[in-house]
Structure 1
């Protein structure tokens, strides 16, 4: 039984086959086709761990693949046609006029997609450029050199017995070594947490905030389906002191994605987000969509909600954090995929330039220096006070103040509150 690891060397190792990781891989090969790039994806296939049903702002895809609209097989089949925002009470609802909503909340020009299909489509583009993608392999360990810089990652060991000891078929995980490593594991990824702690990347940042998002995909009756409809709501069944919201996205083929988000700073210890989600679907404004329908799939995931104040330092010796590993979700828009794509591209361009300059395994501080002035930073800065206001004042007052703050940011480029800390 050998305890030696086999190893493979690449220019860039990317952990995570989501929008950020795949966009970084594509951009690296666009900038320099001779770079060797590998993507590790823990799911059995790309997109396997991505929950279906999302509204995507195409700003990132437009920059990454400008001609995507001419492709017959692209996954952006349903453009948003109607955008509704409801306040739910126990027995009724009120639709807020779109004219009251800050312009950045508009979904005009966005697309309702299966994010899993988007990732598979991006993977096809990446492989066509020569990127190697290894699905079914989870990166479980960060590898360092003698100076403490990141030089790669290792996959999990195989052949471990139930006692936790190596069995007769034990094989050590593979080491994938690179000049730089990009971490795009998603929210609360194990390697990202290790790196944030080791390099103190959260120093001088507000603590990250989290929510839980529960999502189901339904096949509904044709008479209950309105392709292109996006419906967001807040209020019942959550109380005024519990932050959260909900959505219905009408995709093609009579499919509807329904989701429910609860901010994880709620004070009621008896609140059960899954049960609240089921209650939500019984509301008179909601239940009709699902009568006679069939649930096809379901799942849940953590969501970063700290935004501008809580994004950790992105760069560290030998690599960088990208996508949801960095926490680039825009909370009021309930969107992060566009920023994931942009962050992958931004990191890729800086990494490619560093390699071209003969650098390796050092800190590419340009990635950290770039993001706040980029479109990612502009997107998050405008909404930076929405979550703190919601947490401090509750749903009714907090959402109203957050909306006012978004309007002043939109119209005058300033906030009435400066930059608030998270409560």
Structure 2
């Protein structure tokens, strides 16, 4: 968590420095383009024509006209030319020290966040806020009082810059370049960057303390309910955590996406999207706004905080709306359940007895069938033996039959031979008889 937060802060600082460098490059280009005599003469002539056409002081968006545009532009260009060399030297020294001081700065941020988390438990650094309820149509107060004094006094849009005495301010400066050239000097540029970082940390301080400290201190359900039952403690926590979640101009909750938190460059104050688009000057300090960027860290903290707060309110409502139990009715219900369970147990016992008797009868049948099976198997074995004996007798008789058939064939052959011999003898007898008769 510390690494991710350090990376976010480092990226934010780099983005702010990049925007400042781009702005300084643009400023240098304007200076180079306006350094020629013709350009300076044309600018001066244009300013004189415009200033002569107006005899009375002009007012722009409720801001007092202090100096004419030609004087403001000339003073801004002169201040820029005088401080160019000093600023370049300062910029080189600043870039060489950035890489060395970046890690130390991140560690200081982490230590400060830890100290702020511990300060929540002791009730330190409380912020006084007008109301914990968000009302888009509510009438805003003229100032937001902070006990620690970390933020400057908030000014109403109608009176912004009314108390300003800066000599280089020009109410008709649409882009804010001339005013910024007078207000910001190279000597104050380093302190202004540090102020931006300090203000961003100041906006995130209370929300970070609450998000790290509130639910970690709730050890069990009893302490959670006790905290819920104490309206004063809950109000203090809400006041401490909501001060940086509301736009200081319109008092709307800076909840994305409808009203996101936008960081103003270069002053570092945070306003909602609509307020940052309506004005070109910061409502907190009156500084000219060159660009805006989403305050991603503050948006994440606001979203996480209000999600947890909504969940906590739902839990508190559910705890408060739990009805009291009617123990008498519960007692009667338990007695009824006991009687029903006893009766069911008796029925189950009787069923078990019936089943045991039935089981005995069935086992007797099984035993009788097993005995019959054994008897039949014995008979089958005897019949198989008889069958084997009959088969052996049959085979013996078949063998004898075969032998007799063979003998019969042999005798038949002998008979045929005898008959042949007898016929030949009979022929001889007849022949001899015929011969003897002659």
Both proteins in one fold, TM over 0.5: no
Higher strand share: 1
User: Which structure features the higher share of helix residues?
Assistant: 2
Larger radius of gyration: 2
Of structures 1 and 2, the one scoring higher in RCO (CA 8 A, sep 6+) is: 1
